[in-house]
Amino acid sequence: MPVIRFVREGRDVDCYPGENLRDVALREGIQLYGLKGQLGNCGGCGQCVTCFVSVVDEGDSDALTARTGVEETRLRRRPQDWRLACQALVERSLLILTRPQVRLPNADARLTAARQAALPEGPTAWPAVAVADQDEDAEAATADEED
Ligand code: FES
């Protein structure tokens, strides 16, 4: 199951298959945005073009869902390995560089280290919903109605 290795932040983050990359990053406190995006962004609609990430080792291209039409249009003049985090769903483990337009200090060494370290196994299933609790609530409601 997917683990996202955020190279700039030096963090591995678990997620579930199909989760939105932007949502995972925000949940984990990963800063996706440069100053412009921090001051105002579209909230994940693919309109502000401020949530750039770079997929390290793009050969692993099926780790994210395919580029959307919005990305094809908005990223036309950007490197092929750049994605809009708000448009990408995570399918498999991968390495991500946030804010690729910002220089990564000591980039070669950090990218090499990130590539060499094995990705840990992520969660194996979506969290189970506590169905039994709902049944108990329904029985309690029925009992209340009968009284
Ligand atoms: S959040 Fe605006 S394009 Fe991704």
Q: What is the pTM of this model?
A: 0.82
Would you say the CB of residue 32 lies under 6 angstroms from ligand 1?
A: no
Ligand 1 atom, smallest distance to 44 CA: 1
Would you say the CB of residue 46 lies under 6 angstroms from ligand 1?
A: yes
Tens digit of pLDDT at every position of the chain (147 positions) = 789 999 999 999 999 999 999 999 999 999 999 999 999 999 999 999 999 999 998 665 689 999 999 999 999 999 999 999 999 999 999 999 999 999 999 999 999 999 999 887 766 666 666 776 666 665 655 666 666
Buried b (16+ CB within 10 A) or exposed e, 38-48: eeebeebebeb
Ligand 1 pocket check: which of 21, 24, 41, 53 to mutate, most ligand atoms within 8 Å of Cβ? 41
Rounded Cα distance between 26 and 32, Å, is: 8
Q: Whose CA is nearest to atom 1 of ligand 1?
A: 44
List domains and CATH numbers for the chain: 3-146 (3.10.20.30)
Quick one: residue 4, left, alpha or beta (phi over 0 = left, psi -120 to 50 = alpha)? beta
